[in-house]
Amino acid sequence: MAQLLVVYHSKTGGSRQMAKAAADAARDEVETVIKTAAETGPDDLLSSDGYIFCAPENLAAIAGVMKDFFDRCYYPVLGKIEGRPYAQMVCAGSDGENAARQTARIAQGWRLKEAQSPIIVCTHAQTPEQILAEKRISEDDLAQCRDLGAALGAGLAMGMF
């Protein structure tokens, strides 16, 4: 059975909710592992057939913990995961585009195949209090995350990738 790895980082809960929604939906199709970026290593990537990366955008970039995950794993798996599918989700206060671009560039370096365009959920958090507050992702946005997880899971299960 194919395995999907969902890697996420979340300080205020938004990305965690998104990652959980995608992982829960994918479980109907494939074996699904969900792990925080801090606890995920190269062996997790090597043992999986596809990936969902989910992180907040902080200061117009992917969150540092997510960047650390990519830094730790990049060279140990380089040339060993080529062609595997991935998708990504970004939880952002206003834009999210740069974080999505950064993750896409890393995935391009790994020669991964983008299975779907990024999902960017905008929380509209603009003040320090809003940015640091616990997030609640809307049901409509979580539905998009579930759709992404289900689609990537189904594609893996059918051998499309």
pLDDT at 161 over 90: no
3-state secondary structure 49-84: CEEEEEEEEECCEECHHHHHHHHHHHHHHCCCCCCC
Chain segment 39-88, per-residue pLDDT in tens: 999 999 999 999 999 999 999 999 999 999 999 999 999 999 999 999 99
Chain segment 92-128, per-residue pLDDT in tens: 998 999 999 999 999 999 999 999 999 999 999 999 9
Q: Please state whether the predicted TM-score (pTM) of the whole model is above 0.85.
A: yes
User: Which domains can be identified in the chain, with CATH numbers?
Assistant: 3-157 (3.40.50.360)
Tally Cβ neighbours within 10 Å of residue 6.
Answer: 27
Query: Is 139 within 8 Å of 33 (Cβ atoms)?
Result: no
